[in-house]
Amino acid sequence: MAKDYVEDHTHETVYVHAEDATIETPFPVKTSTGHKYKPGLPGALAICRFQVGDDLAAAAILFRLKWRWRQKKKLQRFGKEWVAESRWHWAIGSGLTWHEFVKRGLPRLRKCEFVLIRQMKLGQKKLLWMHLDETKLPQPNGPAWEYFVKRMIGLKVIGAEKLIGNPS
């Protein structure tokens, strides 16, 4: 499926099929009244990148944490639920090199208010434990999301106040 960009509106994408049939709105979104169609819905990694404040390495770790968080088995400590892995396994599972994980992603993710990261023992092994507070995650809507999208496609937002999903 090839993609052609509309000249007048750079944010709209038209999908052209082999039979020259065009579909302007290819992604269904189920609502209470039925289905609405929106072109270019954000992917999970784009949302994670927005939530951590535009750092791709931290977004990859958050994406991995969200995936692990949806698993049923979590550890209990200090009255909270945690997921724990070694630093090496967090890095490899996130698709990052050791340096990207330790020097870029982890320090940026520690600044986020919705993630609590601690180094604790489980048995005889020291592991990196992470707790995710999903109620504090910034939602990808509103003016902060619009500002983020414009910056991601390379537009300069002149005269606009800098808005990010996670202000830390």
What is the residue extent of each domain of the chain? 1-41, 44-136
Q: What is the pLDDT of residues 16-63, one digit of tens each?
A: 444 555 544 445 566 677 655 555 667 788 888 888 888 899 999 999
Query: Check: CATH 1.10.10 for 44-136?
Result: yes
Give residues with Cβ within 8 angstroms of 4, minimum separation 6.
14, 16
Whole-model pTM: value is 0.69
> Residue 72 CB: number of other CB atoms within 10 A?
4
Report residue 159's pLDDT band, with 50, 70 and 90 as the boundaries.
low
Give residues with Cβ within 8 angstroms of 68, minimum separation 6.
83, 85, 93
Calculate the alpha carbon distances from 81 to 49, 59, 68, 69, 114 in Å: 24, 21, 12, 9, 13
Q: What is the pLDDT of residues 74-109, one digit of tens each?
A: 888 999 999 999 999 999 999 999 999 999 999 999
